[in-house]
Amino acid sequence: EVQLVESGGALVQPGGSLRLSCAASGFTFSDYNMHWVRQAPGKGLEWVSYIDSRSRSTNYADSVKGRFTISRDNAKSSLYLQMNSLRVEDTAIYYCVKDFNWSLDHWGQGTLGTVSS
Amino acid sequence: DIQMTQSPSSVSASVGDRVTITCRASQGISSRLAWYQQKPGKAPKLLIYAASSLQSGVPSRFSGSGSGTDFTLTISSLQPEDFASYFCQQANNFPWTFGQGTKVEIK
């Protein structure tokens, strides 16, 4: 069974940093591209970032470009999102998501990052 | 960026009704469109990928169609567990983008 378990969400002040982690199991992690998707409270879904299976290629939403960095460790079956220069509008549940045929087939339960003074 | 416009934003329906949700892309996206269902407090669930392919384990009352710019999600006979929000998502270009969502409510 595919499992994606996020951690690292917390309350942080504007301008601060957070590092989210996602532990993957139940599939060969190194074979799949991965994404982060977020959802602000009561709002819709926003795609945040992508990394290919071998870390050769990454992509970011314009809203986070230059502030967030996606990475992965295939030996540890783990995905990461380093978030710097955080803004109030970055407050959201962050989901770790597995890529499948240009879609997102398995989602973690999410971790809440709150940016507030 | 490709804009995804869903309609309606909400729909009230009864058990057994046929429900259709549409999604329009601001430019052609071939068949690189997916549909998701989300219930309150839960992560989204993939229903349809590649515009019309049913994800494993998803009931056959869900179907998807379309290509290019216009797409449809149909629930042929609404069941109590189908009351939820639905989102479309394009994967033709980065940044991937979602529709704003459609909430299916009980009439």
Cis peptide leading into residue B40 (ω within 30°): no
pLDDT tens-digit series, residues B74-103: 999 999 999 999 999 999 999 999 999 999
The confidence band for B107, taking pLDDT boundaries of 50, 70 and 90, is confident
What is the Cα–Cα distance from A25 to A58, expressed in whole angstroms?
Answer: 22
Residues 57-116 of A with CB under 8 A from B: 59-62, 95, 100-110
pLDDT tens-digit series, residues A24-77: 999 999 999 999 999 999 999 999 999 999 999 999 999 999 999 999 999 999
Task: Please tell me whether residue B25 adopts helix, strand or coil conformation.
Answer: strand
Q: How many CB pairs under 8 A join A and B?
A: 61
- Specify the residue for token string 């669930």: B45
Phi, psi dihedral angles at B20 (to 5 degrees): -125, 130
User: Is there a contact between B49 and A50 if contact means CB atoms under 8 Å apart?
Assistant: no
Residue A87 has pLDDT above 90, yes or no: yes
User: Is there a contact between A105 and B91 if contact means CB atoms under 8 Å apart?
Assistant: no
- What the block records as the tokens of A46 is 């926003």
pLDDT tens-digit series, residues B15-54: 999 999 999 999 999 999 999 999 999 999 999 999 999 9
Query: Given CB atoms, is A47 within the 8 Å cutoff of chain B?
Result: yes
- What the block records as the tokens of B14 is 């009864």
User: Is there a contact between A62 and B1 if contact means CB atoms under 8 Å apart?
Assistant: yes
Single-letter code of the amino acid located at B44: P
Number of H helices, E strands in chain B: 0, 11
Residues B84 and B33 sit within 8 Å (Cβ to Cβ): no
Query: Given CB atoms, is B101 within the 8 Å cutoff of chain A?
Result: yes
What is the Cα–Cα distance from A47 to B73, expressed in whole angstroms?
Answer: 21
CB count in 10 Å sphere of residue B16: 9
The confidence band for B5, taking pLDDT boundaries of 50, 70 and 90, is very high
Query: Given CB atoms, is B84 within the 8 Å cutoff of chain A?
Result: no
Q: What beta strand segments (E) does chain B contain? A: 4-7, 10-13, 19-25, 33-38, 45-49, 53-54, 62-67, 70-75, 85-90, 97-98, 102-106
What is the Cα–Cα distance from A37 to A30, expressed in whole angstroms?
Answer: 20
pLDDT at B65: 98
Nearest-CA residue of chain A relative to B6?
Answer: A44
Single-letter code of the amino acid located at B77: S
Nearest-CA residue of chain B relative to A38?
Answer: B43
The confidence band for B106, taking pLDDT boundaries of 50, 70 and 90, is confident
